[in-house]
Amino acid sequence: MYPHSDHLHDQPVLAVSHLTVRYNGRVALEDVTFHLHEGEQVAIVGPNGAGKSTLIKTIAGVLQPQSGEVNIFGSRPRGHVCIGYIPQRSQVDWNFPVSVADVVMMGRSAKLGPFNWPHRKDWDIVHRALETVELANLSKRQISQLSGGQQQRMFIARALAQEAELMLMDEPLTGLDAPSQEGILNLLERFKKDKVTVMVATHDLDQAASHFDRIMLLNHQIIAFDEPQNVLHTDNLLRAYGGRLKPVDGQNILSTDDCCDEGEHDHIH
């Protein structure tokens, strides 16, 4: 169905097979099958409503599939706390009375277990995570006082504090200025040596091509899933984006008029 790389590394971090998910009464994903290798960084691209968020939430175990299955390191996602989910910034209540460090500590809720309060060790982990994303000096700030890029880095720190091995990011770059986007992408680059597997939903085909090992082109089904140069062909893109895509000069250069629909805006104080 799509170019599938068959070489299995030991156990796949993530194996999705014949996944069909209905969301709000519609088929959001249909017969999606793929797997990820450990430490791989993958971009999911596709038009609005293609099912990118649904796929991410199903892998996270937040949505239940109608059929098919998701396996994380060989078992269902329900039992795994190693999945770091990084939400779209527009879905967050930024006026919630918590500091940056509080939010990052939330990532440790599961590891801490019930009736347990953060120990010295947990605060050390939180502090290290904040240092990694260069927010250590802002740890006591209320979260609305961060810029868009800093807010995104805070959530990455939370996934680090969670000791996530699979990071799922829903449009982390949307609405950020270019330097902030670069900052996030550089951060992801550094995760490669730690073997953190990363899956990012994005609108930006250029960034997907230049920063990720593989690209998944999604429109309810997987149109293509391979290395960037094998995915970003006119045929594939037309199948994914349909009429919303305009070929430029009949070449492989394409532009989409598909963009962030969330009305994102940075608020910096």
Q: Which is nearer to other proteins, 37 or 57 (CB)?
A: 57
CB 172 within 8 A of CB 200: yes
**Which tokens is 264 given?**
């994102």
String of contacts with other proteins for each residue 57-96, x by CB under 8 A: x--xxx---------------xxxx-xxx-x----xx--x
Instruction: Evaluate whether 202 touches 173 at the Cβ level (below 8 Å).
Output: yes
| Helices (H), ranges, the chain | 52-60, 100-106, 109-112, 120-132, 148-161, 178-191, 205-211, 228-231, 234-241
Report if residue 97 touches other proteins, rule: CB under 8 A.
yes
- Binding residue for other proteins (CB under 8 A) from 11, 20, 33, 109? 109
Displacement of CA 92 from its chain's centroid (Å) = 16
| Residue 159: CB minimum distance to other proteins, A | 10
Instruction: Give least dist CB 164 to other proteins, A.
Output: 9
Report the greatest alpha carbon distance in the chain.
Answer: 63
The 10 Å Cβ neighbour count of residue 152 is 28
C-beta closer to other proteins: residue 102 or 131? 102
Tokens 């000069």, located at residue: 249
Helix, strand or coil, per DSSP, at residue 173: coil
The 184-213 contact track toward other proteins, x by CB under 8 A, reads: ------------------------------
Give the nearer residue to other proteins in terms of CB position, either 80 or 127: 80
Does residue 110 bind other proteins (CB under 8 A)?
A: yes
175: buried, middle or exposed (CB in 10 Å: 19+, 13-18, 0-12)?
buried
Nearer to other proteins, 13 or 83 (CB): 83
With contacts defined by CB under 8 A, how many residues of the chain interact with other proteins?
A: 33
Residue position matching structure tokens 């807010």:
151
Sites of contact with other proteins (CB under 8 A): 57, 60-62, 78-81, 83-85, 87, 92-93, 96-99, 102-103, 105-107, 109-110, 112, 114-115, 117-118, 142, 158, 162
